[in-house]
Amino acid sequence: MECIATIRESHHADPTHPPKRSEVVINLDHQATTPCHPSVIQAMEPWWREQWGNPSSRQHRLGLTAAAAIGSARERLAGSLGIRSDELIFTSGATEANNLALLGHARARALSDGEPGHLISVASEHHAVLDPLLQLKQEGFQITLLTPQTNGLLKPEQLEQALQTNTQLISVMVANNEIGVIQPIRELSDLCSNNGITMHTDAAQAYGHLPLDAEELGCALISLSAHKFNGPKGIGALVVRGGTELQPLQWGGGQEQGLRAGTLPVPLIMGMAAAAELSIQDLEERQARLQALRNQLWTDLKDQNPTIELNGALQPRLAHNLNITVPNVSGSRLQRALRPRLACSSGSACSRGEPSHVLQSIGRSRVEAEGSLRLSLGRDTTAKDIDGAIEVITSAIRTLTQH
Ligand SMILES: Cc1ncc(COP(=O)(O)O)c(C=O)c1O
């Protein structure tokens, strides 16, 4: 879930027939979501039209065909992460996967350990991690939120120092959704396994953009979301490795090994598997191309606007992310100036209109966070888009800083 509460779109009269997208607007907001790729839409098509069976209906062909398709999609997705297919639980997205991982595991552990324990995460995590942790706090769990370094990265020693004898679960995302920095997950998960602690990672912004292998990550729980890698919205998964204890959040038909009841959305799952294959197929070449474009965006913007500052370490960082602060400019005026020609977000995507908690966690003031831009490239971003974005942003900054 990403929302930009501060932007009020003028509403089109008929929401059932959306207007054609304006070609004039350059889209650099691909970390909010990505367009569903035409080949993904094609892969979903038969499962909306002819093959509309319920995979739990085992008594007729329509159901059995759907069940077989789910089985194959599950295997392909599991294969992409090097896990067994029964270690993948489909959910409605990464928000639900994070909730299932955190609430599900913490509550299960509280039951088996006899009391709520200690949980650790980072202040720069997405709200889909922070809010379930808040809920757990209300249920009696003790929560530690670590502050990342000013470059956005967590030092393994910070985690080591925060460990307690009753620490049960740690949650650190692979790649940040605002500043794109990539956390040292393997070093953190080694600390967890050496201390008998479960490690969860929110990989919503990383899967399909970085090579990921569950064994190498060393995490027991991994959250995924299809719409971040050109798949459909409303589908994701939680990887649950090696029988990690988990309580379900909902009960019903016993689907997904009883961990996530509800009829499986066959077309969305087929779309997620197709999108995963697509994103892995051209991963290296796409990331090299986007990294070159992103670097050009940063160096040219900095050349032309020497006062702007980069948020987060340039390395290790997602190839398609840039986040800058424009000093002495009102965030709302900046967004208003950009909107006719550039779609991007202020640092505060999905922060209910509040300045970005991520930027504030790395030391930015509220005002600086408001005057920040997250620019995220996608598989269709061209050199012309980048040139256009540089021109639009530079001209907005010049207009707003002229006295
Ligand atoms: C890091 C991260 N976690 C979780 C989510 C939520 O994912 P979903 O929209 O699939 O619920 C997002 C998307 O905004 C995200 O960027």
- For the stretch 346-367, pLDDT in tens is 854 455 678 999 999 999 999 9
Strand order in the sheet with 321-325: 309-310, 321-325, 372-376, 345-346
Q: Are 235 and 269 in contact (CB under 8 A)?
A: yes
As a whole-number percent, the residues of the chain with pLDDT over 70 amount to 94
Q: What is the DSSP string of 183-222?
A: --HHHHHHHHHHTT-EEEEE-TTTBTTB---HHHHT-SEE
Count CB-CB contacts under 10 A for residue 65.
18
- At residue 9 the predicted structure's pLDDT band, cuts being 50, 70 and 90, is very low
Domains (ranges, CATH) in the chain? 39-280 (3.40.640.10), 282-401 (3.90.1150.10)
pLDDT for 394 equals 98
pLDDT digits (tens, 9 = 90+) for 176-219: 999 999 999 999 999 999 999 999 999 999 999 999 999 999 99
Does the pLDDT of residue 17 top 90, yes or no? Answer: no
Residue with the smallest CA separation from ligand 1 atom 7 is 94
For helices 38-48 and 266-281, what crossing angle results, to 10°? Answer: 160
Catalytic-residue membership of 192: no
Instruction: Specify the residue with its C-alpha closest to ligand 1, atom 9.
Output: 1
Give the pLDDT score at 95.
98
Q: What is the pLDDT of residue 402?
A: 85
**Distance in Å, CA 127 to ligand 1 centroid:** 9
Distance 204 CA to ligand 1 centre (A): 6
Q: Taking 70 as the threshold, does the pLDDT of residue 11 lie above it?
A: no
Q: Are 374 and 338 in contact (CB under 8 A)?
A: no
Q: How confident is the model at residue 18 (pLDDT cuts 50, 70, 90)?
A: confident
Tokens of 96: 């639900």
Give, using CA atoms, the residue closest to atom 10 of ligand 1: 93
C-alpha count within 13 angstroms, C-beta hemisphere, residue 149: 14
* Tally of residues, the chain: 403
pLDDT at residue 139 tops 80: yes
Could you read off the pLDDT of 79-113 as tens digits, one per residue? Answer: 999 999 999 999 999 999 999 999 999 999 999 99
Locate the ligand 1 atom nearest the alpha carbon of residue 175 and give its number: 1
Burial label, 302 (beta-carbon count in 10 A; 0-12, 13-18, 19+): middle
Ligand 1: residues whose CB is within 6 Å? 1-2, 93-95, 126, 128, 173, 177, 202, 204-205, 225, 236
25, pLDDT greater than 60: yes
Q: If you take atom 13 of ligand 1, which residue's CA is the nearest one?
A: 1
Separation of alpha carbons 386 and 125, rounded Å: 28
Q: Write out pLDDT tens, residues 225-235.
A: 999 999 999 99
DSSP 8-state class, residue 256: G
Of residues 9 and 240, more confidence is placed in: 240
Considering only CA atoms, give the Rg of the chain. 21
Whole-number Å distance, alpha carbon 126 to ligand 1 midpoint, is 7
Q: Which of 177, 209, 260 to mutate to test the pocket of ligand 1 (most atoms within 8 A of CB)?
A: 177
What is the share, in percent, of the chain residues with pLDDT greater than 90?
91
Tokens linked to 109:
């552990």
